[in-house]
Structure 1
Amino acid sequence: MVTRSLQVQVYSLAFFTYFGFYVSREPYSLVKMTLLKTWAPFNGPDGWLLLGLLDTAGLATYAIGIFIVGYLCEKFNCKHVLIIGCFAAGITTIFYGMANYWNVHNYWYFLVFRMLNGFAEAFGYPTLIKMLDHYFCHEVARDFIMTAFGSCKFLGIIIGCVISSLSVSFSDKWGTCFILCGLVLIAIGVLDMFLLPSLPPNSAPLVDETTPILANKDQKDVSSTNEAENVKEPQDGTAPIIQTDGQTSETRQQENLGNKETLLEALRLPGIIEYAIHLFFVKLSVYVLYYWIPTWFESLTLQGVQISYVLSCWFTAVWGLGGCVGTLLIGLAVYLTELYGVFSTAFAALASVFILSLYWYSTLSTASLVIFLVILLCVGITQNGPYSLASACMPSAINRMQTGRNEKLVGMATGIIDGFGSVGAIFGPLSGAIILQWTTYGWGLVFLLVAVSMFVAASVLSRQVYLESKRCRAELEEVNSEEI
C-alpha cells in the first residue's frame, strides 16, 4: 500500500535529485567569460562560436539521450538507471573542470566531455517523471504538483551559482566550481541508492483499489490471458506487473501499428501542436539567457562598478529565484482556474516586455542596481513560468481534458511537446553564439531574439485563450441561470 509518507519521500528525493542535475550544469554558463579572456582555444578570435558549439553539442546528445533513457526505463529498474546517470553526469562535470588543473587546451577534450555530460544529464528527467507519474497520477492537484516540481531546476541554478561564487574564495582556478558541483550530484546519487524506492520496469501507474487490475469486456478472455501470462507482485506494494512468456511476430506488428495510431491520435489532440510550438520558442528564449546571461553580466558596468565573476554568479541566482517564484505562481494559477492558455500567454507576453526593458535599462548611465535586479527578477518570473508549465503538466492536462486519461497518449503527447522544446533548446545557445561572433550588434540583437521568441510563444496560444475565455463565459452564464 502506498502511503502519503511514501509519496512525500519519493517527491522530496526526486526534487532533490533533479535539483542536483541543475547544480552540475550551472558552471558551464558561469565560466564562459573567464574562458574567453584567459583560456585557449577560447580566448582566440572564434571564442564565442567555439563555446556556442560546445553548448549545442551537449544539448544535442541530451536530446538523443532522452529517447534512449526512455527506452531503458521500460527495460530496467528506474532507480538503477537514475543512479547511473547521477554518477556519470557528476564524473563528466569533474573531468571538464580538471582541464584547468591539467592545463588542457585541446578543444576535442572539451567537446568530448561536453557531449558525454549532455548524454548523462538525460538520465534524470525521464526516470524521475516516470516515478512521479507512478505515485501521483491520480492526485487531484497533480498539475500543481508536477509544475512545482519544475522549480527544482531554478533552485539548482541558485545553489550552483552560490557554489561557483564561493569557489573563488579558496581557489583561483575556474575548474574548481565544476569539481564541487559534480561532487554534489554524485553525493545525491549515493543518497538515492539508499533512500529512493525501487520502481521496476514496465510498472503501471497506481490505480484506485476499486479499479480492476485487468479490465476486459469478456471475462473468458481474461482467464485465458492469465493462463499465458505470469502476474508477479512487486515487493513495494504497487500494482502487479504482467510479464508475457513470448510474443508472436503478428502481435509485434499489431503493436507497431498501434504505436503509429497512438502518434496520430496524440497529434489530433486539440491544442497539442500549439503548445509544442509554444514550448519551442519558450525554450529557445530561456536557453539563450540560461547559457549566456552570466557572460552578459560580466560585460556590464552599473553605478560605476564593473560586474565581476562573483557578482555575475549572484545576479544569475536572482534570475533563478525568479524562475522558482514564476513556476509556483503559474502552477497555483492553473490549478485554481485551469486557464492554461491564458496564463501561459500572459506570462510570455510580459516576459518579452521585461526582457527588452532589462537590456534598455542596463544601457543607461544612471541605472540603479536595485531597479536592475527587480527587472531581472521579473524576467525570471515571467520567462520561466510558461517553460515549467508546458513541459511538466501540459501533455497530461491536454490528454485528460480530451480523453479522461490514456496512458499511451500521455507518453506520446509528452514526447511531441518536449521534442519540439528540445529543438528550440538546441538552437538557443548556438543562435546567441552566432550573433555575438559574426554581427556588430552584439548583446542588443541577442536580447531582441529572446524577446521576440517569447512574443511568438505568446501569440501561438491566441486560439487557446479564445477557447478558454469562451468556456469561462459559458460556465458563468450557467451559474447565473442556476441562481435565477
Structure 2
Amino acid sequence: MNLILFICLFTNQLIQIYITYILDGSDAQASQLLGQLDSAFLFAYAAAMFVSGFVAERVNLRYFLAFGMLFSGTFSYLFGIAKTYNIHDLWYFIIVQGLAGIVQTTGWPGVVTVVGNWFGKSKRGLIFGIWNSHTSIGNILGSLVAGAYVEYDWSLSFIIPGLIMGVAGFIIFLFLVAHPSDVGCISPNNTDRKKYKRLKDQTTGGDTSPTSNSETEETESLIEEQEVQRRISERSYLLPNNQSRYGQQAIGFFGALKIPGVVEFSFSLFFAKLVSYTFLYWLPLYVHASTTMGAALSADLSTLFDVGGIAGAIAAGFLSDCTNMPAATCAVMLILAIPGMFVYQHFGTIHIGLNVVLLIIVGFLVNGPYALITTSVSAELGTHSSLEGNSKALATVTAIIDGTGSIGAAVGPLLAGYVQSQYSWHSVFIMLMLSDVFALVLLLRLVRRELSWLRQRRREERIE
C-alpha cells in the first residue's frame, strides 16, 4: 500500500527539480512555469478527489487501485519521454500533469479504505501514523535521488518510476485483498464480530456449554450470512450497483457530510495542508535565500522537515489512541506549531545546527495534525456509530476530507509565491501562522465535545 503513494509523491518531487532542463529556460522562467505545473496537478487532484471517493465505494478496490497505478505510471512515462521526442510545448506538460493528478486520486481514498477494512479501532492512530510515513519518505527520497540524472538523462527520473508503478499495479491486481470477507475473514469493524466468533465456537465444539434454540438459529444465520458474503466477494465485479458487494449500501456525498465531525475536520485540513505543502514547495528556496547555503545543500536540508513529519505522524497517532481525543491532539500540535514557525523564522538562520533542530521540530508539529486527519480520523469517521455498522463510507469520507485539504495544498504554494514576491518571507510566515490559527479555530467545537466526554467519563469512574 505504501508503494502506491510513495512513488506518486516521489515522481512529483522530481518534476520540481527538472523543469529548468525540460524547458531550457532560466531559473526565473522555470519557477514561473513550475508554478503552473504545480497548479495543474494540485487543482486537478483536488477536484477529482471528491469523485474518486464516490467511485471507490462502488467498485472493486483491487481493480480501482491497480488501474490507478497503471495510469499513474503511464503519465509519468509520458512526462519523461518529452526529452526523447524533444517536446517543449508547455501545454503538453500541463495536460500530462493534470491527468496525472486525476488518476493519482485513486490512491488515497482506496488505500485508506483497504487499511481501514483490515484494522479495527484498536491502535488505529498508531498504525496509520506509521503507515503515513510513506508520504514523508517519498518527499525525502524524491529530493535526494532527483539529482542522480541531472548530468546524465533526466528523462529516466520519470520513465523508471513509471515502469515501477506499472509493475506494482500488476502485483496489486494479482494479490491485493481489499476486504477481510474476500478471504473468509470477519471485518474488525463488524459489530457482530465477537458474538459471531462465540456462537460459531459453540456450534463447532469450541465451547461445550449448552445453547438455546434461539442461539443456535442465530449462529446458523450469522454463519450463513458470512458464507453468502464470501461467495459474493468471489465474483469480484468491477462496477457493481449501488448495493455494495459486502451487503451494505454505499453512502452518498451529502450523507457523508452529515457525519458529525466531517465538515470541521475537512476545513481544518484545508488550512493544515496549506501550511504543510507551502513548506514542501517553498522551503528549499527559503533556506537558500535566508542563509549562505548553496541550492543543493538547501534542498538536502529541507528534507529534515519531512523527517520531523514522520515522527509527528506517529506521535499524533499514538496520542490519539491513548486519549481517544483526536481533535484535542491536533489542537495541541497546532497551538505549538505557531510559535515553532515563529522561532524557526527568526532564529533558524543563525546557525546550521540550530536550523536542523528547529526544522525537525516544525515538521513534527506541522505534519502531525495533517497526517492524523487524513488517515486515522478519516477512517474513524468513515465507520462512525451514526452509520449503524455500515462501513461503506470510508472512501467517500476520506475523499471529502482529503479533497478539501488538497484545495488548500493547491492554494498555499500559489499564495505563498504571490506574498513573497509582493512583500517578503516574513509575510509568508505570518500567512502560515494565521492558517494554523484558522485550522485550530475550526476544531474548537470538537475539542470542547471531547473534553466534555472526558469529564463525564471521569465522573463515572469516581462513582464506580
Q: Is the 2:378–2:401 Cα contact (8 Å) retained in structure 1?
A: yes
Residue aligning to 1:351: 337
- The match for 2:303 among 308, 312, 317 is 317
Residue aligning to 1:130: 113
Deviation at 1:63?
2.8
Residue aligning to 2:294: 307
Matched, 1:446 2:415: no
Aligned mates of 2:376, 2:35 — CA distance in 1: 30
Matched, 1:196 2:176: yes
Cα distance, 1:48–1:131 mapped onto 2, change above 3 Å: same
Aligned mates of 1:48, 1:435 — CA distance in 2: 15
Aligned mates of 1:68, 1:42 — CA distance in 2: 36
Q: Is the 1:76–1:201 Cα contact (8 Å) retained in structure 2?
A: no
**Which residue identity lines up with residue 275 of structure 2 in the other structure?**
S
- The match for 2:76 among 66, 89, 93 is 93
Q: How does 1:247-262 map to 2 (within 5 A)?
A: none
CA deviations on 1:16-38 (whole Å, 9 max, x unpaired) are 33222222222133446xx2xx6
Q: Is the 1:51–1:433 Cα contact (8 Å) retained in structure 2?
A: no
Aligned mates of 2:148, 2:88 — CA distance in 1: 25
Q: Is the 1:49–1:433 Cα contact (8 Å) retained in structure 2?
A: no
Q: Is the 1:147–1:389 Cα contact (8 Å) retained in structure 2?
A: yes
- TM-score (normalised: structure 1): 0.75
Q: Is the 2:50–2:400 Cα contact (8 Å) retained in structure 1?
A: no
- Percent identity between matched residues is 25
Deviation at 1:476?
2.6
CA deviations on 1:391-432 (whole Å, 9 max, x unpaired) are 112234345365664435555543432332122122122223
Deviation at 1:117?
1.7
Count of residue pairs the alignment pairs up: 427
Aligned mates of 2:239, 2:278 — CA distance in 1: 47
Residue 299 of structure 1 aligns to a residue in which SS? helix
Q: Is the 2:140–2:306 Cα contact (8 Å) retained in structure 1?
A: yes
Matched, 1:275 2:259: no
Cα distance, 1:352–1:405 mapped onto 2, change above 3 Å: farther
Deviation at 1:267?
3.6
**Which residue identity lines up with residue 424 of structure 1 in the other structure?**
G
Deviation at 1:290?
1.8
Residue aligning to 1:111: 94
Matched, 1:23 2:10: yes
Q: Is the 2:68–2:107 Cα contact (8 Å) retained in structure 1?
A: yes
Q: Which moved more, 1:21-30 or 1:315-324?
A: 21-30
CA deviations on 1:335-378 (whole Å, 9 max, x unpaired) are 0111212210111122222223323235x5xx211110111111
CA deviations on 1:81-109 (whole Å, 9 max, x unpaired) are 32222232233223324434554332112
Matched, 1:480 2:457: no
Q: How does 1:361-380 map to 2 (within 5 A)?
A: 361-362=347-348, 364=349, 367-380=350-363
Matched, 1:327 2:310: no
Aligned mates of 1:123, 1:244 — CA distance in 2: 15
Matched, 1:79 2:62: yes
Q: How does 1:48-447 map to 2 (within 5 A)?
A: 48-70=31-53, 72-74=55-57, 76-100=59-83, 102-136=85-119, 138-168=120-150, 171-172=151-152, 174-197=154-177, 206=187, 207=190, 208=193, 210-211=195-196, 231=228, 233-234=230-231, 266-302=256-292, 306-309=293-296, 311-362=297-348, 364=349, 367-398=350-381, 400=384, 405-436=389-420, 439-447=421-429
Q: Is the 1:319–1:377 Cα contact (8 Å) retained in structure 2?
A: yes
Deviation at 1:333?
0.3
Q: Which runs of 5+ in 2 are unaligned?
A: 198-216, 244-248
Q: Which runs of 5+ in 1 are unaligned?
A: 1-13, 213-218, 252-257
**Which residue identity lines up with residue 449 of structure 1 in the other structure?**
M
**Which residue identity lines up with residue 296 of structure 1 in the other structure?**
Y
Deviation at 1:285?
1.4
Q: Is the 1:76–1:200 Cα contact (8 Å) retained in structure 2?
A: no
Cα distance, 1:61–1:190 mapped onto 2, change above 3 Å: same
Aligned mates of 1:232, 1:405 — CA distance in 2: 16
Matched, 1:455 2:454: no
Aligned mates of 1:403, 1:259 — CA distance in 2: 11
CA deviations on 1:255-296 (whole Å, 9 max, x unpaired) are xxx989x65554444433221221111111112222222333
State the Cα RMSD in Å: 3.8
Aligned mates of 1:119, 1:201 — CA distance in 2: 30
Cα distance, 1:264–1:301 mapped onto 2, change above 3 Å: closer
Cα distance, 1:296–1:181 mapped onto 2, change above 3 Å: farther
Q: Which moved more, 1:201-210 or 1:327-336?
A: 201-210
CA deviations on 1:457-479 (whole Å, 9 max, x unpaired) are 12222232233223323333333
Cα distance, 1:68–1:463 mapped onto 2, change above 3 Å: closer
Q: Is the 1:232–1:242 Cα contact (8 Å) retained in structure 2?
A: no
Q: Is the 2:130–2:314 Cα contact (8 Å) retained in structure 1?
A: yes
Matched, 1:469 2:451: yes
Q: Is the 1:432–1:446 Cα contact (8 Å) retained in structure 2?
A: yes
Residue aligning to 2:26: 43
